[in-house]
Amino acid sequence: MKVIILGIVVTLLAFLGITGPDTAPVMQDPEGAEMLKGAENSIYYEDNETCFKCHAQDFYTLEDAESGLSQKRVMCQNYIVDRDEYYQSNHWSFACTDCHSWEFSNFPHPTAERLQDHFSCLDCHGYDEAYAQYHFEEIEEEYNASTHAEIEGFSCWDCHNPHSYEINIRTSTNLKETILYDNNICLECHGNYSNFRLLSDIDEVDVVVSHEWLPNQVAHFAGVRCIECHTSINDSILVAHHILPKEQAVRNCTECHSSDSRLMATLYKFEAKEQRKRGFLNGVIVNNSYVIGATRNYFLNVASVVIFAGLMLVLMIHVFFRIKKK
């Protein structure tokens, strides 16, 4: 009898998917996903080192072959690329000249080449079947409708530096690290007054002061990304890019702290797709946030209704026979 009961329990746990860690497949970038990142694995390492000789340093040397004169100069901070960050970024396997003209092999670099427009995300990722699942075209539409697009000179690269940006929401096993990484992107400008002034003539507001209304502010900053409250929800793309005006930011606690939490459509979107297959309505956030009704399970809900209905049926039958007997 004990063996039968044990077998039933194990079967039920397996059915609900709570006997072990989540082994759902993780979305990968279509190219180079199986390759290990790092300078030692880049086939363009030697070619790129020609660029990093100057662009990974705080100083560079300007030389004139004819006169033999040379002078050490300070490299503009905007043109310095961290070598280690580059080889851990999304574009780590590229050669510099995949995106920058071959003319940059000449030094000093031709002025005409420096005045050329930068590539946009869609130049490489748009309208390509290999990247169709990421909906880059829709991301572009969202960005163009956002408040960031209204800032002259602002582009994708102000948030997603092509030399260092690393997508991790689909691959990270530590959600807190993902939250910190993504929030630091926002704080590059909104936590740095000088950077903000370079892009906007609007008076910057201290984010801590502007969020004083938020209960337990430290926990919120560590537990969710800025974009959870400052973007509109989009079911088609993994990370929303429609940045809303501050007046439209979420300020209602129940937007997140309820069984229909908007976090299920934003921060926990990828994990939620796998968890919901197992019946839990939003079990993925049980250990990360205080959410009313987060532990509800569809199958247990049905079972409780069936048990309740059965109990009521037994009571009605009992009452019927008691009345008939009288």
CA angle 169, 170, 171 (to 5 degrees): 95
Sign of the Cα pseudo-torsion (198, 203, 206, 211, in order):
negative
> 53-101: per-residue pLDDT in tens?
889 888 888 887 778 888 888 888 878 899 999 998 989 989 998 888 8
The whole-number average pLDDT for the span 290-317 is 78
> 149-199: per-residue pLDDT in tens?
988 888 888 888 889 988 766 655 678 888 888 999 998 888 876 667 666
Residue type, 179: I
Whether the predicted model's global pTM rises above the 0.75 cut: no
Which H or E run includes 87? none
Q: Are 232 and 255 in contact (CB under 8 A)?
A: no
Question: What's the whole-number average pLDDT of the chain?
Answer: 78
199 vs 154: CA distance, rounded Å: 7
201 vs 151: CA distance, rounded Å: 9
pLDDT over threshold 70, residue 28? no
Q: Are 282 and 271 in contact (CB under 8 A)?
A: no
At 23, list the tokens.
Answer: 């082994």
32 vs 91: CA distance, rounded Å: 10
Q: Are 297 and 281 in contact (CB under 8 A)?
A: yes
228 vs 249: CA distance, rounded Å: 9
Residue 23, pLDDT score: 32
